[in-house]
A = this chain, B = another copy of it.
């Protein structure tokens, strides 16, 4: 660090070039004085929701001493206030809304609609926990599942984000599911429609695309892709049904790939692991692949 001047000049040169880059990009100079909520705040809201959905599991209270009648109210008040602010900032940030009493009224509506869905989300996620317990021979109790299963965490976050997606809130749903994706390796787009008693095992590598529809009592294992058939057209496909439909009671084993918006896996069917499916499968079918013949040679 012999020479401050030299360091200062180098920093100055980089600063100038970065400034030039900034100016060549519309996204770095905003017109409206509102920022997106920080990711950390959205994650906190998610934690508050988790606390109220599973009382006694994630907060500091011991459920042995809490009268449950007393529990949810003040937590929901916190969720309401935070979400109001986050939804408000997000809509302003996108730039198609104007501050004012009407807009605040609209944000209130949206937030209350979400609050109204909280008990439904809870009912669904408790059914998912049941499905997990029934389906996994390694699970010893619902408590263990709620505390430690990444599949349940990913589904919980999806179910929350999906309600916000349905309300057409921008950014927040995806920030939520990508947070869960980062923690679990399970990537469920908030736009997907997933029925009750959904079961995920292990989970790492699962991808469930935006226009996927999944029925009730479906089981999915690690590495399964429910994806689009071809994405060469990029943005032109936005809004079209690109991902498959999975009907009730279907099981899809590890690393299977099911692609295409017209692909329907009929109810009660079982898809074996490592299969590659691009066409519909009728109901009550067991699909496996003629596995490639193994070449077995002795070593040395």
Alpha-carbon separation in the docked complex, A223 to B80 (Å)? 39
Taking CB atoms and an 8 Å cut-off, the chain A residues in 218-253 that contact chain B are 222-223, 225, 227-228, 231-240, 242, 251
A166 within 8 A of B: no
A284 contacts B299, CB within 8 Å? yes
Which residues of the partner chain B approach A294 to less than 8 Å between Cβ atoms? 275, 277, 287-290
A64 contacts B4, CB within 8 Å? yes
Given contacts A67-B73, A234-B136, contact A295 B289 (CB under 8 A): yes
A1 contacts B189, CB within 8 Å? no
Which residues of the partner chain B approach A53 to less than 8 Å between Cβ atoms? 18
Which residues of the partner chain B approach A209 to less than 8 Å between Cβ atoms? 138
Q: What is the chain B residue whose CB lies nearest that of A201?
A: B231
Given contacts A68-B28, A78-B61, A202-B207, contact A137 B292 (CB under 8 A): no
Option from B10, B100, B101, B182 in Cβ contact (under 8 Å) with A115: B10
A62 contacts B76, CB within 8 Å? no
Count of chain A residues with Cβ under 8 Å from any Cβ of B?
159
Q: How many copies does the complex hold?
A: 6
Q: What is the chain B residue whose CB lies nearest that of A153?
A: B182
Q: What is the chain B residue whose CB lies nearest that of A44?
A: B60
Option from B70, B126, B138, B183 in Cβ contact (under 8 Å) with A70: B70
Q: How far is the CB of A273 from chain B (nearest CB, A)?
A: 6
Alpha-carbon separation in the docked complex, A298 to B270 (Å)? 10
Option from B70, B81, B237 in Cβ contact (under 8 Å) with A74: B70
Alpha-carbon separation in the docked complex, A115 to B239 (Å)? 42
B126 contacts A144, CB within 8 Å? no
B142 contacts A2, CB within 8 Å? no
Taking CB atoms and an 8 Å cut-off, the chain A residues in 64-122 that contact chain B are 64-74, 76-78, 80-81, 84, 93-94, 99-101, 104-105, 108, 112, 115-116, 118-119, 122
Which residues of the partner chain B approach A4 to less than 8 Å between Cβ atoms? 30-33, 64-65
Q: What is the chain B residue whose CB lies nearest that of A11?
A: B76
A170 contacts B140, CB within 8 Å? yes
Given contacts A23-B68, A66-B73, contact A11 B276 (CB under 8 A): no
